[in-house]
Structure 1
Amino acid sequence: MVGSGAGKCDSTVLWALEWITTMSDPLRRGLHDLTRTLQRLPVILYFSWTDTKARYIRSVLGPFWLVLGTLIGVIGLGVLWTALLDMNAREYFPSLAIGLVLWQWVSGCVSQAPSTLVQQGPVIRNIDLPATFFCFGPVIGQTVTFVHNLIIVLLVLIVFPPNTGWANLVLSLLGLMLTFVNLLWVSTALAFAGARFRDLDPAVTAVMPLLFFLSPVLFRVHQLPINAAFVWLNPFSYPITAIREPLLGTPPDPLIYLVLAVSALLGWLSMVWLVGSHGKRLPFWI
């Protein structure tokens, strides 16, 4: 019996060692891909900025048309919803402006991700560049647009100043950083899935309008009935709440930041493994 138990123990140890070896090789290759991308970060930033400028070449306002479009949306929706719901404009406009700008940032990254690698197919097949180089680019491009739209948030907060302290600003910045880190791995995972399964792109496009109304953009979570806990089943609720609520003077539940942090940790590990294990197959998928 002792010999049998020892044999099972040795078998388990060998299986564990084999599993660790199997997992470590993709992780090592994924980290190498990520390192090569980080070395090219200035190139990604340059391409993202010039792409934004190129879309508005020969226009007077240039990239600030992005700001004007968002500003019109905030004013239009703000006037409409304050009138329909009989809400206080001083309370609603800051909530709407921050929520709408955050939604455009997060949803823009998610919507663009499934087609990212497919659109870059000719480049991927002919130039030796890391896969994450193509996946991180759109996220940084959307972030450039997001930074432009922060002008609207600043203007609204000047007109309707909330009661926000330094501690709340730190919480909002923490939520902003966690959101950006999560967007990088989510966009990479969706880009790989979209390259392998072409139905993902139209599926994401079809679902996004519904998620807009289920996300706390036009409303705040505390305005919902007590039994509306389903809002937390929507992943978009976490970054919007973590960033917006502190700016409006209401620190959210610390559990929200914990969810974002755990999601970032597990997501990056999964993303690095995904890139390392399937990166070589990418040219054949596209």
Structure 2
Amino acid sequence: MHATSTVDSTETTTMTSAPPSSDSRTFGRALSDIRNGFKQPELWGHLAWQDIKQRYRRSVLGPLWITISMGITALGLGLLYSQLFGAAVGTFLPYITTGFIVWNFILGCLTDGTDTFIANEGLIKHLPAPLSVYALRTVWRQCIMFAHNMVIYLIVIVIFWNDVTTPNYTMTEGGMTHPGLNWDVLLAIPGFALLAINAGWVVVLFGIASTRFRDIPQVVSSLINLLFFMTPIVWTTDILKDKFGGTADWRDYVAELNPLYHFIQVVRAPLIGNAVSWHHYAVVGGITVVGWALALVVMRNYRARVSYWV
């Protein structure tokens, strides 16, 4: 596949034959890299799709295995935890299903993000393309997988339609009431857009850092399980309040101080008719600004060094 280079000849020479100079370390160069990356959707889009096809090469069902795997996991854990927590299957299974779908997107961006530039070593050294192309490749690949998994969401919603559309339904006995599935479901679109935008800075920041410090992918992998169980995916905030009573203490902040909880809620809540709290959007918006600021600083200072570190 031929790709048109959008990197000027001076920068290409700098990256391939000599250590980067201080002149290349500007926010203008970093922003230009990102803009030029977005101008090549045929490149990163093709690479992302090839990743999916390569993963399921010679498989009879191909990418459908993504959907089947998600469906089996959501069904098994949904039935188990609904019994453990005494929750109604009709509302708890959609809750867990959507939580898993969004979590898998976040998980993929974190784990694949740390390996983005390392895995693309050959292309980075031989293809004069913007560095952001490889970050977009990773994010778009996760978006494709997210779209596959949404098939399971549609199936679950159809099966439990009466449960999730009932006004003022509760997840657990005596828990918070929710309005039920309505036109607020459209809020999941900007919610996922925020998620994808944040995936961009996560991949850029962790990807560049991992090329310099190869322990970072191992650290992230080690923390994934802890992050999963600390995030309300297979449990709800109602369970914490019911378990420890209504008094306000540190337990009430276990979920609220977890940024992943807010990222999941901006997509999950409207999809299953849960009450949509605007403070989730405020937290996600703040993290978006800070995250991209850090990513741009890293892009400015170390973008030209990635080809030497991989």
What is the TM-score with the length of structure 2 in the denominator?
A: 0.80
Partner of 1:241: 265
Separation in 2 of the partners of 1:277 and 1:268?
Answer: 14
Q: Secondary structure at the match of 2:211?
A: helix
In terms of mean alpha carbon deviation, does 168-177 or 67-76 score higher? 168-177
Separation in 2 of the partners of 1:229 and 1:141?
Answer: 33
Matched, 1:92 2:109: no
8 A Cα contact 2:78 2:89, kept in partner? yes
Tell me: CA distance 1:76–1:35, structure 2 relative to 1, closer, same or farther (3 Å): same
Partner of 1:102: 102
Separation in 2 of the partners of 1:117 and 1:232?
Answer: 33
Partner of 1:45: 45
Matched, 1:186 2:202: yes
Partner of 1:4: none
Aligned length, in residue pairs? 264
Deviation at 1:23, TM superposition (A): 12
Matched, 1:165 2:189: no
8 A Cα contact 2:185 2:272, kept in partner? no
Partner of 1:58: 58
Separation in 2 of the partners of 1:270 and 1:37?
Answer: 19
8 A Cα contact 2:188 2:270, kept in partner? yes
Matched, 1:118 2:106: no
8 A Cα contact 1:66 1:149, kept in partner? yes
Higher helix share: 1
Q: Secondary structure at the match of 1:28?
A: helix
Separation in 2 of the partners of 1:76 and 1:137?
Answer: 32
In terms of mean alpha carbon deviation, does 107-116 or 218-227 score higher? 218-227
Separation in 1 of the partners of 2:258 and 2:24?
Answer: 32
8 A Cα contact 1:136 1:188, kept in partner? no
Q: 1:251 aligns with which of 252, 275, 295?
A: 275
In terms of mean alpha carbon deviation, does 110-119 or 148-157 score higher? 110-119
Q: 1:200 aligns with which of 216, 229, 233?
A: 216
Tell me: CA distance 1:223–1:26, structure 2 relative to 1, closer, same or farther (3 Å): farther
| AA matched with 2:51 | D
Q: Secondary structure at the match of 1:61?
A: coil
Separation in 1 of the partners of 2:151 and 2:98?
Answer: 11
What is the TM-score with the length of structure 1 in the denominator?
A: 0.86
Tell me: CA distance 1:224–1:280, structure 2 relative to 1, closer, same or farther (3 Å): same
Deviation at 1:82, TM superposition (A): 2.1
Tell me: CA distance 1:275–1:42, structure 2 relative to 1, closer, same or farther (3 Å): same
Partner of 2:156: 156
| AA matched with 1:250 | N
- Provide the alpha-carbon RMSD of the alignment: 1.9
Separation in 1 of the partners of 2:24 and 2:50?
Answer: 38
| AA matched with 1:263 | I
Q: Secondary structure at the match of 2:221?
A: helix
In terms of mean alpha carbon deviation, does 117-126 or 28-37 score higher? 117-126
Unmatched runs of 5 consecutive residues or more in structure 2? 1-21, 165-179, 242-247
Separation in 2 of the partners of 1:56 and 1:115?
Answer: 20
Q: Which has the larger radius of gyration?
A: 1
Deviation at 1:171, TM superposition (A): 2.3
8 A Cα contact 1:215 1:237, kept in partner? yes
